[in-house]
Amino acid sequence: MVPKADHSSSTIWIPLGQVSLFLGIQITKNKIGYFLDQSHYAQQLLLKSNLAECSTAPTPAIPSKANPENSDPPFSDPKLYHKLAGSLQYLSVTRPDIAFATNRICQHMHAPTEQHFKSLKRLLRYIKGTLHYGLPLTLGNLQLSTYTDADWASDNTDWKSISGFYTFLGDNLVSWTVKKQATVARSSTEAKYRALAAATIEVIWLRRLAKELQIPQHSPTKIYCDNTSAISLANNPVFHARTKHIEIDYHFIRQHIDSSSITVHHVSSGKQIVDVLTKPLPTNLFEQLRHKLTIWPSNAHFAGGS
């Protein structure tokens, strides 16, 4: 609605109708909720990169942890690389399935090589094949829940780990993050505990935001992790000397467990949906996890989310 000036009386509000486009995000409504996508933005991105007629790829990244060799020649047009990488970051607003590949591409903005640009084109080819994918928002319960994970020492250039987490509001995916950890973790438990701490920060912020939006969280938010050692550390009131190097994260998580803001639960590795955010995956597994994250094509949403 927008205000219309009326000098003889109070302000009159004129309804604008249903929202259909907001900052490049298309919003479609049907009987089961809303569907958010950026298919028009993605199509423009493919045109800019001269890949509108390219062949498609089944996944955003090749399922390999290997990083390009230092001897790989520099890419001839770094400005193009920067432009496309920045556009991919904005596209991930409704496409968390490309967040990991986009993050890895953006780590090389300072000195992109030919191999880095090939990885970028691979991601664009995946987008070409999933042009109309996006996120549904449907009616349901309004309880927050979070899944967190880390891929330990996954970058063989600096041996740092990748953290990732997703947060759902009921069945709706509302928040996600993929980020390289700032320092090298000395064990998988340490890497996953740091990811757990980062997810806890996000959860506390979302709980406060939900309260402001009149969606109070009356029970602790469940955070799911697949590392039993990290869970034991979070729930154990006795601090172990061998983990003093992560003492700040430990006390932060313990504080919010004790205040009943969060609880930490185990999820089996086979049900760990955050793998999409922390590592490249083979096609079958990637497609399964993408579906669990409710990243669907628009026709599936309008058919009821098959």
Mean pLDDT across the stretch 128-155?
93
**Residue 126 and residue 85 share a domain:** yes
Q: How many residues does the chain have?
A: 306
Between residues 5 and 112, the one the model is more confident about: 112
AA letter at 3: P
Domain contains 198: yes
Domain contains 25: no
**Residue 188 and residue 150 share a domain:** yes
**Residue 243 and residue 160 share a domain:** yes
Band of the pLDDT at 10, cuts 50, 70, 90?
A: low
pLDDT the model gives residue 243: 58
Domain contains 28: no
**Cα separation values, 146 from 94, 282, 284, Å:** 18, 24, 24
Between residues 299 and 91, the one the model is more confident about: 91
Mean pLDDT across the stretch 36-63?
94
**Residue 107 and residue 227 share a domain:** no
**Residue 244 and residue 155 share a domain:** yes
**Residue 260 and residue 216 share a domain:** yes
Band of the pLDDT at 155, cuts 50, 70, 90?
A: confident
**Residue 89 and residue 173 share a domain:** no
List, as one string, the DSSP characters of 109-151: TTS-BHHHHHHHHHHHHHHHHTTTEEEEEE-S---EEEEEEEE
Query: Which stretches does DSSP call E strand in the chain?
Result: 2-4, 12-14, 21-22, 25-30, 33-37, 133-138, 144-151, 162-169, 172-180, 221-225, 262-266, 296-297
Band of the pLDDT at 47, cuts 50, 70, 90?
A: very high
Domain contains 124: yes
Number of domains in the chain: 2
pLDDT the model gives residue 1: 53
> What's the whole-number average pLDDT of the chain?
87
**Residue 103 and residue 54 share a domain:** yes
Instruction: State the CATH number of the domain containing residue 251.
Output: 3.30.420.10
Q: Which segments of 49-113 does DSSP mark as H helices, in order?
A: 78-91, 99-106
Domain contains 173: yes
Domain contains 217: yes
**Residue 114 and residue 70 share a domain:** yes
**Residue 229 and residue 244 share a domain:** yes
Domain contains 162: yes
Distance CA(65)–CA(155), nearest Å, equals 7
pLDDT digits (tens, 9 = 90+) for 224-279: 999 998 898 888 756 554 555 566 676 788 889 999 999 999 998 878 899 999 99
Domain contains 1: no
**Residue 107 and residue 43 share a domain:** yes
Mean pLDDT across the stretch 74-102?
95
Distance CA(173)–CA(171), nearest Å, equals 7
pLDDT the model gives residue 20: 81
Q: Is 153 helix (H, G, I), strand (E, B) or coil?
A: coil
pLDDT digits (tens, 9 = 90+) for 164-218: 999 999 999 999 999 999 889 988 988 999 999 999 999 999 999 999 999 999 9
| pLDDT tops 70 at residue 3 | no
Between residues 58 and 245, the one the model is more confident about: 58
**Residue 156 and residue 111 share a domain:** no
| pLDDT tops 80 at residue 40 | yes
pLDDT the model gives residue 6: 53
Say how many CA atoms lie within 13 Å of 64 toward its Cβ.
5
Segments forming the whole domain that contains residue 151: 141-272
**Cα separation values, 85 from 22, 43, 80, 105, 264, Å:** 21, 15, 8, 7, 35
